[in-house]
Amino acid sequence: MDAGAADRPEVGASDAGSVDAGSADVPRVDATATDLGPADAGPADAGPADAGSPRGTPVIDGVIGSDWPAGAIVATNTVPSSWGPTLNALRSIRVAWDSSRLYLGISGTVEATNAMMVFIDRDYLPGMTATGVTAISTLTDGVGSLDNAISCNITEAPSGFGADMVWGTRGMLMKTATALDASIGLRDVSCPTCRSDFRWTLGDAAVCVGGATPACEVSIEWSALYGGAPPPLPMLGLFVRITNAEGDSLANNQCLPQQADGDLPTTARRVLSFSPGL
């Protein structure tokens, strides 16, 4: 672990690739990540994935409700959890943004002995050469509750995907954007030395709640994600997994977006990709 200031290169606009520069409220979305089932397996009041704009500022309170924009991008998972549907499960993820932050709403839950992790590529270009970590199994920071779990045995991601940042939580926790915590938060794995000593990064706030509709809501400042000003038209990709405390068991069959039969446990061949206009 490393609780020092993040030291990463600024990603310029050219790193986002050639994408549609049309309306900022009509993002480019990877269709393979959003045609995996019903529009939402979670609360019904956030609207379908294709209605309106994903731009908005939801309240980070652990309740995925009508404060989310109706056009939030959604990916789902309908596979019953092999580690208990009420204990360790991923049902859906919503993505929204405004000019300051990226917002994630994850419908699901994880026990305190396990971890929920969002692997993020901040310059995802499908089919191109990835700049981040392409094999998560090469991450080796065993010091720290969350860091140990992130260092897991995912050996393959889609062509063009390389993880730069990881947000995660051990159990259903919460944190503010000005706090660093060993068990929840944002980790920078983008630089070569960061891959064995993750950089703990400020700028993310999260509230995870259990109960009948368990969920984690997360906000990440763009400046925290990019180490400075983001490119005007970034292209991001992400996927969500559950692992155990040591990161050495990927027997859990949960992933967002839902993977094809045979892809799990050590691969993630589908990611949710999107291009916000900032």
Whether residue 171 is predicted with pLDDT greater than 50 in this model: the reply is: yes
What integer is the mean pLDDT of 70-90?
95
Query: Rounded to whole angstroms, how far apart are CA atoms 23 and 8?
Result: 29
The whole-number pLDDT of residue 274 equals: 96
Tokens of 253: 């069959």
User: Does 2 reside within a domain?
Assistant: no
Measure the CA–CA gap between 209 and 191, rounded to whole angstroms. 33
pLDDT at position 28: 40
Tell me if 78 is assigned to some domain: yes
Q: Contact at 8 Å (CB) between 136 and 147?
A: no
Q: Is residue 34 part of a domain?
A: yes
Q: Is residue 188 part of a domain?
A: yes
The total domain count for the chain is 1
In a domain, 234, yes or no: yes
Q: Are 115 and 242 in contact (CB under 8 A)?
A: yes
Omega cis (within 30) before 265:
yes
Asked if the structure places residue 5 within a domain, the reply is no
38 located within any domain? yes
To which H or E segment does residue 148 belong?
A: helix 145-150
Q: With beta carbons less than 8 A apart as the criterion, state whether 166 and 119 touch.
A: yes
Residue 7 lies in a domain: no
pLDDT of residue 278: 72
- Quote the pTM value: 0.82
> In this model, does residue 40 exceed pLDDT 50?
no
| Distance from C-alpha of 30 to C-alpha of 267, rounded to nearest angstrom | 18
Whole-number pLDDT of residue 2: 52
- Domain extent for 236: 13-275
The DSSP bridge pattern shows strands 199-201 and 204-209 to be: unpaired
